[in-house]
Chain A
């Protein structure tokens, strides 16, 4: 049973370009979370999605950032017109539908560097 898969692991973009980060949750998981981690800092919640639905996007900047989790395929976090401040590690995590279990499984992260 493969874990949470994120790609790319490393991404370099110039200011103004677009970054697309992909996350495939664990098999059987239909809930996905995205977190951002700046160097030497903690995790900042960005968005929580279920298949075809955004449940909570309160942590995501209103501009330039968007997320989706289509019926088929991975979840995608999209950052348009990147700026240097977007440089960070972006982690995806998934959880089963069983709310009593409540354990998050994390991917290895995608590290975005904006030049």
Chain B
């Protein structure tokens, strides 16, 4: 079946530190992969996505590469800011199976000044 596993949080970093949030997946087909971000009191917003192997999604300084050989889609940012404090969700969509979406449990990021 399909599933997403991401590292547990919270992750606490100082401003300008390097960020990695690990995400691995299992999938029966060829999924699309996503990172969503949720700021306090808000809904989820798409941060970036990749639709096929070796694609790199990027947005607002965040990057993630679709690695089929390691079934991973780790989120990285070279220098985090206080405003990046949020919960980050890794997700996949199974385009074959009625477009179902599977979310990881979320990783809370706290960035301290």
Would B43 and A99 count as touching, CB distance under 8 A?
Answer: no
Q: Is B46 an interface residue (CB 8 A)?
A: yes
Question: Which of these, B36, B43, B95, B101, contacts A107 with CB under 8 Å?
Answer: B43
**Chain A 35-66, CB within 8 Å of chain B: the 1/0 string?**
10000011101001000000110000000000
Q: Separation in Å of the A108 CB from the closest CB of chain B?
A: 5
Question: Which of these, B89, B93, B95, B98, contacts A43 with CB under 8 Å?
Answer: B89
Would A42 and B104 count as touching, CB distance under 8 A?
Answer: yes
Residues of A within 8 A of B91 (CB): 104
Residues of A within 8 A of B74 (CB): none
Q: Is B20 an interface residue (CB 8 A)?
A: no
Would A33 and B43 count as touching, CB distance under 8 A?
Answer: no
Task: Kindly report which residue of chain A lies nearest to residue B45, judged by CB atoms.
Answer: A106
Residues of A within 8 A of B43 (CB): 4, 91, 106-109
Question: Which of these, A91, A99, A100, contacts B44 with CB under 8 Å?
Answer: A91
Q: Measured between alpha carbons, how far is A104 from B104 in the docked complex, in Å?
A: 15
Which chain A residues in 58-114 approach chain B with CB under 8 Å? Answer: 91, 93, 95, 99-100, 102-109
Would A103 and B46 count as touching, CB distance under 8 A?
Answer: yes
Q: Measured between alpha carbons, how far is A109 from B44 in the docked complex, in Å?
A: 9
Q: Is A31 an interface residue (CB 8 A)?
A: yes
Residues of B within 8 A of A56 (CB): 98, 100
Residues of B within 8 A of A102 (CB): 32, 51, 93, 95, 99
Q: Separation in Å of the B72 CB from the closest CB of chain A?
A: 19
Q: Is B42 an interface residue (CB 8 A)?
A: yes
- Greatest chain A CB density within 10 A among B45, B93, B101 is at B101
Which chain A residues in 9-25 approach chain B with CB under 8 Å? Answer: none
Which chain B residues in 81-113 approach chain A with CB under 8 Å? Answer: 89, 91, 93, 95, 98-106
Q: Which A positions have Cβ atoms within 8 angstroms of B?
A: 4, 31, 33, 35, 41-43, 45, 48, 55-56, 91, 93, 95, 99-100, 102-109
- The 9 residue pairs across chains A and B that have the minimum distance between CB atoms: A42-B105, A106-B43, A102-B93, A42-B106, A106-B44, A102-B32, A108-B43, A99-B95, A43-B103
